[in-house]
Amino acid sequence: MDLMDFNKSWYDNFSIENGILDIPYEQINKERTRIGFGKYGIVYKTTCDLFGDIAVKEFYINDQEYIENFINEARIHNLARHKRIIQFYGISRDAEKKLYYIVMEYANHGTLRDFLSKRNSMDLKERIRLVTQISEGLSYLHNKLNISHQDLIYSHFYYIKQHTKNILVKNGNIKISDFGKSKCFKHINNFSSNKIFNSSSFTLYKVSDIHSLGVIILELSNYRKTLHKEQLSSKICLKEDRLEIREKSRMVSNLQLKPLEPVYLNNDKKSYIYSYDF
């Protein structure tokens, strides 16, 4: 198939071949609220008859690279069906405007950071509950689907800040989202000649997700500092609390500011993992 034909038919082929629901664009309510944005477009909250409240992630697609990104994200998100993953409903398009959509479940509490920032306090049990739910979702992706997420935390290049924009919360429960950078090693065993390379690279990708999980756990265990610096001097903090928070904050700041160093495996420049050099 030449590129022209591919461009014309990729959407239909993709939806049919992967059994993905193509939601007619007319069925999506045009009254919508912007709830986020990222590299490929804007995310809106709206409704549709079939699913009620929904979030739609809009992609402006005008070249092959954008098609590939859309396909990768929708395909992987469609595979991941678990109570700790934001539910994928289908895709939609406004072909005239070259706008394409991933249609998914709406998380009413927003990101984990939004959720934390609205809480005055959180006991250890609640923090452990949230970490456990994130681990459940990640374990499902790694162990059941051979998918590495690759974007659990967001690092801002200039400010070297990290936060959990892709860990969403719905009715107090964790929902992992955004499979735009994810990699699927599902058919790893089918390619016997690449098996060793693939399985070792999957391990490396998993390690990077686990690093992100570590940052999330630190943020959760320490959230008052990472979210509300000013609370450190607040009168509501007892002196002991402040000392403990300060110590944890120092650890988190050190960790967040330290670059990850590549550690080469067996002197092979192609296989390496990132690790902290403590």
Ligand X SMILES: Nc1ncnc2c1ncn2[C@@H]1O[C@H](COP(=O)(O)OP(=O)(O)OP(=O)(O)O)[C@@H](O)[C@H]1O
H or E element in which residue 101 lies = strand 99-105
Q: Choose between 42 and 255: whose C-beta lies nearer to ligand X.
A: 42
Q: Is the separation of the CB atoms in 56 and 92 below 8 Å? A: yes
Helix axes 239-257, 195-221, angle to 10 degrees: 150
Smallest distance from ligand X to CB 155, Å = 10
What's the CA dihedral at 87, 22, 36, 117 to 10 degrees? -10
Q: Choose between 33 and 193: whose C-beta lies nearer to ligand X.
A: 33
Tell me the residue type at 82. H
Smallest distance from ligand X to CB 168, Å = 5
Q: Choose between 103 and 245: whose C-beta lies nearer to ligand X.
A: 103
* Interaction site with ligand X (CB under 6 A): 35-36, 38-40, 43, 55, 57, 86, 104-107, 110-111, 151, 165-166, 168, 177-178, 180
Say how far apart CA 30 and CA 115 lie, in whole Å: 27
Smallest distance from ligand X to CB 244, Å = 30
Say how far apart CA 222 and CA 16 lie, in whole Å: 46
Residue 57 annotated as lining a ligand binding site: yes
Smallest distance from ligand X to CB 151, Å = 6
Q: Choose between 113 and 224: whose C-beta lies nearer to ligand X.
A: 113
Binding positions for ATP are 57
